[in-house]
């Protein structure tokens, strides 16, 4: 099981997105948080920004849609060329249909769960997914503290995925830094969104390498 580090540009210098993407060129993906000020109480960027940075990004884009009505809007991100598109289970009307549509359009399909959302009702969706995102903070803002009880949700997801022999990444988003990535990796996560831990480091490439090393070491102990 490989470890993937996906820095969130929510914590970057937004006046220089192209330069900020170059600073994280050693990461596996760039995590793009799209917020509409309805599903979450924050407003960031939308499809035009994603379309602008797709051609200049040195790494694939991992789009996290924290928006209402993803059934309507998510396919446009896949059509634009985003390599991975995540919708929220709480917002999707037809998650299986949406996941299939994202795949049809050439994107990896992913579904996110808020901290208070139970995994069990969405187990039937898993075979349609390439990634499951377990939120380890309340979505909407960067710099929050990791919610420890989410480790049990990660363990449950990993158990079900392994039992069913599914090829699904488990991503965690929120409070990921050197002090928390090991616990999340030991619980079964393999893909990590890190914002402040990377973009506020003096050397983002070194921060990415350190996080990857910690995650790989934790997996090796399991």
Architecture of domain 4-221: Alpha-Beta Barrel (3.20)
* pLDDT given for residue 142 in this prediction: 66
Mean pLDDT of 141-155: 89
* 139 Cβ contact partners less than 8 Å away, ≥ 6 residues apart: 35, 40, 66, 88, 112, 114, 173, 174
pLDDT of residue 65: 98
pLDDT average, residue stretch 162-181? 96
Mean pLDDT across 48-59? 97
Choosing from 28, 36, 62, 173, the catalytic residue is 173
Separation CA 101–CA 109 (nearest Å): 8
Q: For residues 141-168, give the mean pLDDT.
A: 93
Instruction: Give 145 or 68, the one with higher predicted confidence.
Output: 68
Q: Which one of 33, 36, 62, 190 is the catalytic residue?
A: 33
Residue 140 has pLDDT above 90, yes or no: no
Q: What is the mean pLDDT of the chain?
A: 95
Annotated catalytic, 173?
yes
Predicted model pTM: 0.96
Residue 219 has pLDDT above 90, yes or no: no
Domain boundaries, the chain: 4-221
The average pLDDT across 89-116 equals 98
pLDDT in tens, 1-49: 589 999 999 989 999 999 999 999 999 999 999 999 999 989 999 999 9
The percent of residues in the chain predicted with pLDDT above 90, rounded, is 91
Q: What are the tens digits of pLDDT across the range 178-216?
A: 999 999 999 999 999 999 999 999 999 999 999 999 999
């Amino acid at each position: 099981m490989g470890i993937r580090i996906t820095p969130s540009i929510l914590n970057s210098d937004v006046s220089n997105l192209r330069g900020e993407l170059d600073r994280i060129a050693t990461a596996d993906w760039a995590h793009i948080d799209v917020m509409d000020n309805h599903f979450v109480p924050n407003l960031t960027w939308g499809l035009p920004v994603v379309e602008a940075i797709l051609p200049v990004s040195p790494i694939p884009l991992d789009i996290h849609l924290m928006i209402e009505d993803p059934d309507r809007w998510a396919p446009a991100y896949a059509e634009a060329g985003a390599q991975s598109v995540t919708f929220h289970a709480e917002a999707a009307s037809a998650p299986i249909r949406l996941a299939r549509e994202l795949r049809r359009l050439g994107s990896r399909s992913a579904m996110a769960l808020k901290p208070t959302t139970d995994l069990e009702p969405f187990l039937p969706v898993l075979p349609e997914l390439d990634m499951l995102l377990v939120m380890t903070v309340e979505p909407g803002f960067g710099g929050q503290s990791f919610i420890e009880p989410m480790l049990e949700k990660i363990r449950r997801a990993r158990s079900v995925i392994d039992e069913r022999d599914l090829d699904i990444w488990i991503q965690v988003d929120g409070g990921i830094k050197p002090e928390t990535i090991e616990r999340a990796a030991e619980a079964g996560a393999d893909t990590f969104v890190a914002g402040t831990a990377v973009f506020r480091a003096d050397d983002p490439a070194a921060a990415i390498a350190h996080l990857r090393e910690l995650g790989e070491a934790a997996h090796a102990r399991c």
